[in-house]
A and B are shown apart, each in its own frame.
Chain A
């Protein structure tokens, strides 16, 4: 119980924090200028979009075990639907977005029906083929889709928004921010609710063993198709909004790279938790955006070395703590693990940083002519994320965030089980004795 309360408080604080960010925006004269600028707002809006994508992919993959690469294709479908409706029929964003959501849902349904027989690898391959066909077709059908140049469309609020006391014009970031933010909250809440109903329960049973689930009375086909349709609709909805927000959609939005980012986000956050993968998505997307610039070579080297040494020290620390476990028995185990993760990493980084700075400066001085002053991180950041994906999979299969959430929410549960088991054990022994 206590653990759950902590999580609720942390979650609410996070939401309030995100909801307050726009109020630090330039337009409000009473705040220091430049605290939050257009770019920050943009990055956050898009990160909310990715949060929904990663979260729905978790529902599909983490809950239902359906490995699909078609997420971006559904997103593209919805975006192009609203764009083309606007272009040919002159419909407004709202109509278009709703229609796009429907189209994505229908295609989700069809794909779901088609792939019923396919499992893991074959499913992944089929969905890749589907996604690639969609992308090539949009690229080629220039008359309808604008081809590689993309399809222009209306802004989300073509006439801006008039609140009476303040009016926003159509390019202001604040209305889209709250629209996307609200959508994200609603959709994730909706999916979490779904995941906690019979629907989520059955999906997990299907993921574990389709045949056994069927023998237990679960209508496997219906739920597998439904989960495809629902996640496609969720994706379609936010994709339509995003397309109108940036006023353009192009086939490049559907390349496998973006899909792999979504996958990485979900895996790093934790595939089996919708909220964890959403948080993972926001953190990763923001990080990725801010890594897109040039960095001084020495600082990159320092950070890399610090992390490596820091992690080694941290692991040593954990090992030592485990060895001396008997001494620490009475300290709350959860506090120990979460606390040591933060404190341990912090301490090791602080202690190592001066050394690594020294090393990298020295190395840079020696090989100064070979290394550039600045490193363009826009490719390296993706290298790092590929590496992070592999290492997370290998060593933290439940993701980085989810285990912490789970630890906190199940705090005390382990002790409880052990106590119960001991009690049960003594009873049976007593029975056996008598």
Chain B
């Protein structure tokens, strides 16, 4: 497994007068499993867009394995090993599930041959227990299944770093299990993950490290345990400090309210 090293330095993004991402720096070493949380509008999706090249940062640099990738086109960044899903699923609706999977597979190498890629696609579909729908059009899938399809596409792209934007939103518990399994298995295979979610229980349970964004700034970066007791985070989420016991549920509910 090749070395994974993502280095984000002073990343900033302005939209007109609005600073959506403010001087964010962090690093990823090796196959980490990182959660990214923050209230709505904190800038999580924008960070994702900056990382995958969909947006150009106003300032700051991004290095992936020593290679500078900010300012590159999304397709180049995808090919060097950074994959992402979208908050609102974006499958290729009028293509079959299998064809959806072929796109990243074929795009990865100019010499990719359809047969090999197809074989790999079937393996991935098998892994996701999804193969019975291989020939269905993506538009005929349910919302949850489309999430699964996006995960499958990512596996075909075979990135080193995977950013999942809200993979659990609107997903049935049973499918949720499948996605946990996916994350853990793929992570064990040596891929780094950044999980973005408002589902605090899950994210605290799954990730080994948390990034907390608020108003575009990175206000905390540490283990779930540290973050849970970080006064700045508590301040940002709760408005007041509750000394003894800060249950996860409370944090979760506050975020929920912010959403409304």
- Nearest CB of chain A from residue B135's CB, rounded to whole Å: 6
- The 8 A CB mask of B84-121 against A (1 = contact, 0 = none) is 10100011111100010011101110001010000000
| Residues of chain A in range 303-361 having any CB-CB distance to chain B below 8 Å | none
- Nearest CB of chain B from residue A121's CB, rounded to whole Å: 20
Interface of A is mostly: helix
Q: Is B33 interfacial (CB-CB < 8 Å)? A: no
Q: Give complex CA distance A93, B102 in Å.
A: 43
B112 nearest in chain A by CB position: A198
What chain A residues lie within 8 Å of B74 (beta carbons)? 211, 214-215
CB <8 Å contact, A216 and B153: yes
- The 8 A CB mask of A197-214 against B (1 = contact, 0 = none) is 010011011011101111
What chain B residues lie within 8 Å of A209 (beta carbons)? 90-93
- Nearest CB of chain A from residue B13's CB, rounded to whole Å: 17
CB <8 Å contact, B104 and A216: yes
What chain B residues lie within 8 Å of A205 (beta carbons)? 92, 95, 103
CB <8 Å contact, B129 and A214: no
Q: Give complex CA distance A213, B104 in Å.
A: 8
Q: Is A37 interfacial (CB-CB < 8 Å)? A: no
What chain A residues lie within 8 Å of B86 (beta carbons)? 211-212, 215
B108 nearest in chain A by CB position: A217
Number of A-B contacts (CB under 8 A): 88
- Nearest CB of chain A from residue B125's CB, rounded to whole Å: 11
B101 nearest in chain A by CB position: A216
Q: Give complex CA distance A198, B74 in Å.
A: 19
- Nearest CB of chain B from residue A277's CB, rounded to whole Å: 16
Interface residue tally on A, bucketed by range: 20 to 34
What chain A residues lie within 8 Å of B217 (beta carbons)? none
Q: Is A423 interfacial (CB-CB < 8 Å)? A: yes
What chain B residues lie within 8 Å of A212 (beta carbons)? 86, 90-92
- The 8 A CB mask of A379-423 against B (1 = contact, 0 = none) is 000000000000000000000000000000000010001001101
Q: Give complex CA distance A198, B99 in Å.
A: 10
Q: Give complex CA distance A370, B131 in Å.
A: 67
B130 nearest in chain A by CB position: A424
Q: Is A218 interfacial (CB-CB < 8 Å)? A: yes
CB <8 Å contact, B84 and A215: yes
Q: Give complex CA distance A78, B114 in Å.
A: 35
A198-B106, A202-B107, A208-B93 in contact; A219/B135 too (CB < 8 A)? no
CB <8 Å contact, A217 and B132: no
What chain A residues lie within 8 Å of B132 (beta carbons)? 417, 420-421, 423-424
Interface locus among B24-32, B75-83, B195-203, B235-243: B75-83
Q: Is B136 interfacial (CB-CB < 8 Å)? A: yes
Option from A218, A221, A417, A424 in Cβ contact (under 8 Å) with B103? A218
Residue pairs across A and B with Cβ atoms less than 8 A apart, 30 shown, are A198-B112, A198-B114, A201-B103, A201-B106, A202-B103, A202-B106, A204-B94, A208-B93, A208-B94, A208-B95, A209-B92, A211-B74, A212-B90, A212-B92, A214-B73, A215-B54, A215-B74, A216-B75, A217-B79, A217-B108, A219-B73, A219-B75, A219-B107, A221-B73, A417-B132, A417-B133, A417-B135, A420-B132, A421-B133, A428-B129
A212-B92, A215-B83, A216-B157 are known; give 15 further A-B pairs, CB within 8 A.
A198-B114, A201-B102, A201-B103, A204-B92, A204-B94, A209-B90, A211-B54, A211-B86, A215-B86, A216-B103, A216-B104, A272-B94, A423-B132, A424-B129, A424-B132
Please list the residues of chain B having a beta carbon within 8 angstroms of any beta carbon in chain A.
52-54, 73-75, 78-79, 83-84, 86, 90-95, 99, 102-104, 106-108, 112, 114, 129, 131-133, 135-136, 153, 157
